[in-house]
Chains A and B, each alone.
Chain A
């Protein structure tokens, strides 16, 4: 039962990993921008949740009314700047890492380097759990998983069935041909950057539900989130969700069967093996999915 509980909790927490990875994967796959500043946007999303919930007494989930539009604008502006400066590929990795450090410093100046956490009386989700037979589904992880399914599932459907989505897929396949068919890559880039910002807002909110926030937290996310992006296939949203859940389950099982300290070893061993066997990612077919 303990093993099953750990696997179920891990699967739900995988939703958070997928939420964090979705925006990064999409901009990488479609726009060829490896945007490490995305981690900074998630951090700002977490702090906005904390700040708005604390200052205005708003329900933490409702803080998305503030953080989602704010980070949509931030994400779009960021992508606009990358586009105008012609930043892509390896350059984007370096530049966005610098931006991440700037964001972390700004967060330090505003919220200090100390741990910040939404007070228990303002956060009814933090310690809740939904019983399911003998299992318990931790509320924050369940919320993370639900948002991941809705957002990533919605994003996948939008990519498949809307004109804008098809435009993004075409752009990811071949920029020049897509442009010849009238696809405005700048507008698409702004939209995708903005939506990526919204995913960061949601991921940040979910993280803040049950965790303390400190400006250097993003560094702790790097390994797992990149593993999710790579395993899921760069640009593949559904793959991101499946990889997030898979990594969550793997982490939970390894932690219980062996030891939590072996979790990073097993996780990255799995990533290395997966890349050796399927270098394109476990689920990637081609372009943005």
Chain B
């Protein structure tokens, strides 16, 4: 009797396991989810931006699953908090790949973390779409695919983009002050990268633009008073702050305390909300962007764009993100997810070699950056869609290049 009961129990357990593994739903699809693993900086120094990628990713997956998922499987996202600690990132991806056996991975936030992940992805031969690493020469793994591109030489592209835009003004700036954060994510724009020493300083010289202040500063700077005094004394036509986060806010505030406001200001990678928070004091400030939710650009992005932007805004509000606009970071995140989804669909299976080959052989149509193609000889960095945006009437507006502009670049703001 005991043997019979045991046999029935074993058979029932096997049946249940089998059912769990291969149960068919009404649509005839398997219910085993396709799991994507990644880390994000949900706490620590990068958390303010990490949360944007979390919200964007959740919005993407909800939309993807509502449309049937991938290969008939619902997609789940296992996201771990790397605490903005680069040392933890590689270990967490190892855990996701080796222990949790995720089907695919997506990059973390911030260049140092993405570089740490790249080594793990390469070791396991996995496709690595990522949002925000733009230093193309460092990203040498052939199956890493960027969701944000400033081309193969970002140190040249950004200064030329800016100076080209400014050259269209009736009175382009002749004297500039260059304030550079000594952060690996910003200094390359001023000084060049690696053996390529071409950067903003050399390009300005080539174009006959005089650098009247060149002030590199530590990322932990707390007193902007002395820099403000130098800039106010030199009275440049344009202040270029190749900095991050709230550097430009702090610099403009310190200058205002001295009764000075630069005629024009460029901020490389600012936190977008705080600059807008300065009100009239930040009117006319310039920066770079791959997408801004301006009506003409939304319209150009296609029928789905407005719904995506609205959904993101709703989720960002719930997540208590202060600046809820769907802009560069969220767009880069969306691109990375679309690259991953396209590679799986294109390969027809979760086979990373096939996915990588497919991406090299086929373009990916993205909602916010258009059609992307990946050339391994350029480290997969596609033709940049980066443009210049400007604060106009309290909003960021894309103003350059003209084919992606939603407004007109305006010149110096009256002090």
Contact = CB atoms under 8 A, between A and B. Distances in A.
A1 interface: yes
Given A139-B257, A140-B257, A261-B216, A10 B222 contact: no
A129 B258 contact: yes
A2 B229 contact: yes
A177 interface: no
Contact of B233 (A1, A215, A251): A1
B254 interface: yes
A260 interface: yes
Nearest to A12: B225
A89 interface: no
Interface string A3-20: 001100110110000000
Nearest to A114: B48
B274 interface: yes
A117 interface: yes
B277 interface: yes
Interface in B167-224: 182, 215-218, 220-223
A113 B48 contact: yes
B302 interface: no
B278 A120 contact: yes
A216 B51 CA distance: 15
A102 B320 CA distance: 20
B253 A113 contact: no
Interface in B244-279: 245-246, 249-250, 253-254, 256-259, 271, 273-274, 277-279
B218 A5 contact: no
Contact of A210 (B50, B257, B273): B257
A252 interface: yes
B258 A114 contact: no
B44 A216 contact: yes
Contact of B223 (A13, A119, A259): A13
A114 B227 CA distance: 25
A280 interface: no
A105 B81 CA distance: 13
- Residue among B223, B233, B279 with max Cβ neighbours from chain A (10 Å): B223
B43 A108 contact: yes
Contacts of B225: 5-6, 9-10, 12-13, 138, 141, 252
A103 to B, nearest CB: 13
B321 interface: yes
A176 interface: no
Contacts of B256: 126-127, 129
Contacts of A214: 48, 245-246
A269 to B, nearest CB: 14
Nearest to B319: A112
Given A113-B47, A116-B322, A259 B258 contact: no
Contacts of A264: 218, 220
B244 to A, nearest CB: 11
Contact of A114 (B228, B249, B273): B273
Interface in A184-214: 210-212, 214
A128 interface: yes
Nearest to B255: A127
Contacts, number: 153
Interface in B342-396: none
Given A115-B274, A127-B257, A259 B229 contact: no
Interface stretch (A36-44, A153-161, A218-226, A235-243): A218-226
Q: Give the interface size bracket for B toward A.
A: 35 or more
B323 interface: yes
A32 B246 CA distance: 36
A251 B222 CA distance: 10
Given A1-B233, A136-B257, A260-B216, A252 B223 contact: yes
A108 B81 CA distance: 14
Given A2-B229, A5-B229, A129-B259, A113 B217 contact: no
Nearest to A112: B320
A83 interface: no
Contact of B222 (A12, A114, A220, A259): A220
Contacts of B271: 114-115, 212
A263 interface: yes
B226 A9 contact: yes
B258 A6 contact: no
Interface in A87-127: 105, 108, 112-117, 119-121, 126-127
A112 B221 contact: no
B320 A216 contact: no
Nearest to A252: B226
A131 B259 CA distance: 9
Contacts of B218: 260-261, 263-264
B106 to A, nearest CB: 20
B230 to A, nearest CB: 6
A257 to B, nearest CB: 9
Given A9-B226, A138-B258, A255-B230, 13 more contacts: A9-B229, A10-B223, A112-B322, A113-B47, A113-B50, A114-B273, A126-B256, A211-B222, A214-B246, A251-B226, A255-B215, A259-B215, A259-B216
17 contacts: A5-B225, A5-B233, A13-B222, A115-B48, A115-B274, A116-B322, A117-B277, A120-B278, A126-B256, A127-B257, A129-B259, A139-B257, A251-B223, A251-B226, A256-B230, A260-B215, A261-B218
Interface of A: 1-2, 5-6, 9-10, 12-13, 105, 108, 112-117, 119-121, 126-129, 131, 136, 138-141, 210-212, 214-216, 219-221, 223-224, 248, 251-253, 255-256, 259-261, 263-264
Top 4 nearest A-B pairs by Cβ distance? Answer: A113-B47, A9-B225, A138-B257, A255-B226
